[in-house]
Chains A and B, each alone.
Chain A
């Protein structure tokens, strides 16, 4: 997979969460993920088409997404409900948009589908292409989350 496709998603994730949720995010070391089991409890998944076809997934631990959405709304969120799944969809959408803006600068244009959201412990993340799944872990004071980027070979 073209590694220049990865950094824009990391930068976009930092930008979106710092701007919309006012939190500081620390990036961990990327790794190749071998299975389809989500690391988090709620995941936003979005298909991308363009110079390559693929998907991004953003998967959050429950306590992490509750802290993020609490900051976004300015009120305490206590349970994984429709408000949270909707917010995960919009966060995924914004990360995709910011990443595509940066990718456009290096001549790689993509279009994005409307995101879907899956919840539950140990749910599966189904990427639409067969390429390697690059996982990038992030940590915040409120908990951890991971983005997965998968493009066709």
Chain B
């Protein structure tokens, strides 16, 4: 797993961004940027070279699902790995995310091992 890549963490809760940053740092990732909603995340995508997006679903302004659809609809970003990390765990949510092209899906609460496992799969 290439840990030199630049990772964008998107979540409206600073708590979750902090937990994910801690886990990613433990895994060896150093190049981390963060956004508190989909709109800010999109601005970062437009201005920085992002290699991986890790996003919550339920956020104000632009949700994670809306961000995912926007990313997949734009040829510049369509192939970016996109990991959804969310408390939305109902079947319909997973189906919608898969249909929108999510690379993988982690349900909160999660362990560091679950994040590591999903990242290994989508970054290999």
Q: Within residues 96 to 137 of chain A, which ones have a CB less than 8 A from any CB in chain B?
A: 96-98, 100-101, 104, 109, 112, 114
Q: Tell me if B58 counts as interface (CB < 8 A to partner A).
A: yes
Task: Closest B residue to A115 by CB, please name it.
Answer: B13
Inter-chain contacts of A98 with B (CB < 8 A):
87, 89, 108-109
Which residue of B12, B14, B16, B108 is within 8 Å of A83 (Cβ)?
Answer: B14
Known: A101-B107, A114-B60. A90 touches B15 (CB 8 A): yes
Inter-chain contacts of A97 with B (CB < 8 A):
86-89, 107-108
Q: Tell me if B99 counts as interface (CB < 8 A to partner A).
A: no
A93 to B12, CA, bound (A): 11
A96 to B9, CA, bound (A): 22
Residues A104 and B109 in contact, CB atoms below 8 Å apart: no
A63 to B90, CA, bound (A): 33
Q: Tell me if B91 counts as interface (CB < 8 A to partner A).
A: yes
B interface majority secondary structure: loop
Q: How distant is A81 from chain B, measured CB to nearest CB, in Å?
A: 11
Interface flags, B15-40, vs A, CB<8A=1, else 0? 11011001000000000000000000
A110 to B16, CA, bound (A): 23
Inter-chain contacts of B107 with A (CB < 8 A):
97, 101
A97 to B56, CA, bound (A): 13
Q: How distant is A51 from chain B, measured CB to nearest CB, in Å?
A: 13
Inter-chain contacts of B22 with A (CB < 8 A):
73-74
Known: A97-B86, A97-B88, A97-B89. A86 touches B13 (CB 8 A): yes
Q: With a 10 A CB-CB cut-off, give which of B60, B86, B91, B109 has the most chain A CB atoms.
A: B109
Inter-chain contacts of A87 with B (CB < 8 A):
13, 15
Known: A19-B111, A89-B13. A104 touches B19 (CB 8 A): no
Q: How distant is B28 from chain A, measured CB to nearest CB, in Å?
A: 17
Task: Closest B residue to A87 by CB, please name it.
Answer: B15
Which residue of A19, A69, A94 is within 8 Å of B87 (Cβ)?
Answer: A94
Inter-chain contacts of A32 with B (CB < 8 A):
none
9 further interface pairs, Cβ-Cβ under 8 Å (given A73-B18, A97-B88): A19-B111, A20-B108, A89-B15, A93-B13, A93-B108, A97-B87, A98-B109, A114-B12, A114-B58
Listed by A's residue number, 5 A-B pairs whose Cβ atoms lie within 8 Å are A19-B111, A93-B13, A93-B58, A104-B91, A114-B60
